[in-house]
């Protein structure tokens, strides 16, 4: 089986803090599509993105999860989809350390009309799920300049 291709959103209009390769302040996340609706990203959180010393900020964890969960909805889609987070619930199970390799997972669970339900997790190298998340996303009309 072929290794999954790395997904980098390098479109010039992408300035996203999470996934743009052009945003000098950003996290520059890339993704691997493991199966339809299922992605992961390999990350190491920088010390400057901590909350308590040595522990990743809960909001930076939300950035990572939101990115992987959004990518789970849109990866593999033929047409460009405009989707936004509507509801996002995180459960912080164990501290997420900075400076160590982590995997961030996104998993599309269900679609209904314009809505999509997605699960996510930040997982350490032993496979322990440190933070888990659920979200509802909604497909919106394209912005006018893209329509």
Give the footprint of a copy of itself on this chain (CB under 8 A).
Answer: 13, 15-18, 23-26, 47-53, 57-67, 84-92, 95, 143
Q: Least distance in Å: CB of 22 to a copy of itself?
A: 10
Rounded distance, CA 91 to CA 74, Å?
A: 24
Q: Least distance in Å: CB of 15 to a copy of itself?
A: 6
Q: Least distance in Å: CB of 52 to a copy of itself?
A: 7
Using the Cα atoms of residue 33, residue 39, residue 44 and residue 49 in order, give the sign of their dihedral: positive
SS3 47: helix
Q: 58: part of which helix (H) or strand (E)?
A: helix 58-74
Reading the block at residue 12, the tokens are 């010039």
Q: Which one, 35 or 128, has the nearer CB to a copy of itself?
A: 128
Q: Which one, 57 or 129, has the nearer CB to a copy of itself?
A: 57
Q: Least distance in Å: CB of 1 to a copy of itself?
A: 32
Work out the number of other CB atoms within 10 angstroms of the CB of residue 31.
25
Q: Which one, 34 or 132, has the nearer CB to a copy of itself?
A: 132
Q: Which one, 35 or 46, has the nearer CB to a copy of itself?
A: 46
Q: Which one, 13 or 36, has the nearer CB to a copy of itself?
A: 13
Strand partners, 138: 84, 115
Q: Which residues neighbour 92 within 8 Å (Cβ) at sequence distance 6 or greater?
A: 58, 61, 130, 131
Q: Least distance in Å: CB of 55 to a copy of itself?
A: 9
């Amino acid at each position: 089986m072929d290794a999954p291709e790395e997904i980098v959103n390098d479109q010039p209009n992408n300035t996203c803090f999470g996934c743009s390769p052009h945003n000098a302040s950003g996290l520059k996340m890339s993704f691997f599509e493991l199966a339809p609706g299922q992605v992961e990203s390999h990350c190491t959180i920088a010390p400057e993105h901590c909350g308590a010393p040595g522990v990743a900020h809960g909001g930076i964890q939300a950035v990572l999860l939101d990115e992987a969960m959004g990518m789970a909805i849109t990866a593999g889609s033929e047409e460009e989809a405009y989707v936004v987070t509507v509801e996002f619930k995180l459960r912080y199970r164990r501290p997420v350390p900075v400076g160590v390799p982590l995997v961030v997972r996104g998993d599309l669970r269900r679609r209904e009309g314009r809505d999509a339900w997605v699960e996510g997790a930040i997982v350490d190298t032993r496979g322990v799920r440190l933070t888990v998340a659920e979200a509802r996303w909604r497909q919106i009309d394209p912005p006018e300049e893209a329509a």
